[in-house]
Amino acid sequence: MTGKVAQTQTSAPNLLTRLLRAREVSLVALLLFVTLGTAAINPLFLSFTSLKDLFLNVSIIALVVVGQTIVLLMKHVDLSVSSVVGLSAFLTGSLFVAFPGLPVPLALLFGLGLGAVLGSVNGLLVAYGKVPALVATLGTLYVFRGIDYAVVHGGQINASNLPPSFLGFATGNILGVPNLVLLVIVVMLGFGIYLGSYRGGREYYAVGSNSEAAVLAGISVTRRTLTGFALSGAIAGLAGVLYLARYGTVDANAGSGLELQVIAAAVVGGVSINGGVGSLLGAGLGALLLGVMSSALVTLRAPGFYQQAIQGALLLAAISVDMLVSRRSAKQNAKGRTS
C-alpha cells in the first residue's frame, strides 16, 4: 500500500516532465527538419548571414513572447503589447532626438519603465477593476495606440535622428552573435529559471491552474496578476527600444498587429490559452519555429502569397497536435488513478 503511494508519487512528476520534454523535443525535431530540409535544397539557408538575419528577425517577437507567456500562464491575455512596443519605440526615438548623447543603457531602462507603467494600467484594470483581460487589453490596445498617434502626429523617427552608437547596438555582436539576440537569450534564461524554480514564478502557474485554490494556498492572486501584467508591459517596452534600434525608422504604426503573432508563437510553443501550462523554452522555440518557417519559405522561393496561408496552416496543425497529445496524456493519467 505504502509502496504504491510512493510509486504514484514518483511516477506522476516523471510523466509530467517527460511530457513537457516531449513537447520541446518535438518542436526541436520539427525545427531541425525544416532547417535541414531547406538547407538541403538551398545550402545558402545555413550561411552565417542568413542565420544571423533569421535570429535578428525572430528576437523581438521572442522577447515579447516572454511577457505574454507569463500572462497566458495566469489564464489571461495581453493584446496591448503591440501598442506598447509602438509607443515605447517612438518615445525612445523622441528621447534621442531631444538628448542625442543619451547612453544606450538609459534608453533601455526608459523603455522598461514606460512599459511597466503601461502594463500596470492593464494589471490594475484586470486585478482590481475586475475587467476581463481580453476586454481591458483590447481597450488599452486602442488607448495606447491612440496616444502613440497623438505623440507622433504624422511624424517619423528616422535612422538619421538616432546616434550611431544606438543603431550599432542592435547589430553589434559578441563573438559573432548579435547583441540583440544575446539580450533576448539572457532575458529568456532569467525568466525561464524564475518561472521554473522560484516560488514567485511557480505562483503564476498556480494562479492559472486554479485561482481559488491559489487563494486558499495563501497566494495573493490580485498582486500576482498586477505584477504579471506589469512584467508583460515592461518586456514589451524593452522590445520597443530594440525595435527602434533594429529598424531605425519608426512611425505611428510601428508594431501594430504584433499581438496575434506573439500569441501564435506562444501557442505553437505549447503555452495553453487555458492557463497553467507551458514553458518559456517552448514559447521561445515556438517563436523560432514560426520565424524559421517564414524565412524557409522565402529561401525556397515559395510565392510570397503562399507564406501567410502556410503559416496559418502550421499554427492550426501545431495546436491540433498539442490537443491530441495532451488529451491522450490526460486519459493515461485517469487510467493510472483508477487502477
Of residues 106 and 134, the one with the C-beta less far from other proteins: 134
Phi, psi for residue 178 in degrees, rounded to 5 = -60, 145
Could you tell me the end-to-end alpha-carbon distance of the chain, in angstroms, rounded to an integer? Answer: 13
Residue 253 C-beta: closest distance to other proteins, Å: 11
Please, what is the angle between helix 199-209 and helix 48-73, to 10°? 60
Contact status: 155 vs other proteins (CB under 8 A): no
Residue 67 C-beta: closest distance to other proteins, Å: 18
Contact status: 257 vs other proteins (CB under 8 A): yes
Contact status: 146 vs other proteins (CB under 8 A): yes
**Alpha carbons 239 and 89: distance in angstroms, whole number:** 8
Of the residues 63, 231, 250, 267, which one makes contact with other proteins according to CB under 8 A: 267
Site stretch for other proteins (CB under 8 A), options 39-47, 130-138, 177-185, 219-227? 130-138
**Alpha carbons 136 and 132: distance in angstroms, whole number:** 6
Contact status: 135 vs other proteins (CB under 8 A): yes
Residue 51 C-beta: closest distance to other proteins, Å: 25
Dump the DSSP string for 47-108: SHHHHHHHHHHHHHHHHHHHHHHHHHHTT---TTHHHHHHHHHHHHHHHHHH-TT--HHHHH
Of the residues 51, 131, 185, 325, which one makes contact with other proteins according to CB under 8 A: 131
Buried b or exposed e, range 254-266, using 16+ CB within 10 angstroms = bbeebbebbbbbb
Cα four-point dihedral sign 121, 138, 236, 282: positive
Residue 75 C-beta: closest distance to other proteins, Å: 11
Of residues 143 and 182, the one with the C-beta less far from other proteins: 143
Binding track, positions 304-323, relative to other proteins; x by CB under 8 A = xxxxxxxxxx-xx--xx--x
Phi, psi for residue 76 in degrees, rounded to 5 = -110, -175
Q: Which residue stretches of the chain are H helix?
A: 2-41, 48-73, 81-98, 104-127, 133-152, 164-171, 179-197, 199-209, 211-216, 221-247, 258-268, 280-299, 304-338
Of the residues 23, 75, 76, 145, which one makes contact with other proteins according to CB under 8 A: 145
Q: Is 173 helix (H, G, I), strand (E, B) or coil?
A: strand
Number of Cβ atoms within 10 Å of the Cβ of 251: 17
Of residues 234 and 263, the one with the C-beta less far from other proteins: 263
Of residues 13 and 154, the one with the C-beta less far from other proteins: 154
Of the residues 21, 327, 328, 331, which one makes contact with other proteins according to CB under 8 A: 327
Site stretch for other proteins (CB under 8 A), options 96-104, 126-134, 210-218, 229-237? 126-134
Binding track, positions 63-92, relative to other proteins; x by CB under 8 A = --------------x-x-------------
Size of site (CB under 8 A) for other proteins: 48
Distances (CA, A) of 8 to 28, 222, 325, 336: 30, 34, 21, 8
Contact status: 33 vs other proteins (CB under 8 A): no
Q: Which residues bind other proteins (CB under 8 A)?
A: 77, 79, 125, 129-132, 134-136, 138-147, 149-150, 153, 256-257, 260, 263-264, 267, 273-274, 304-313, 315-316, 319-320, 323-324, 327
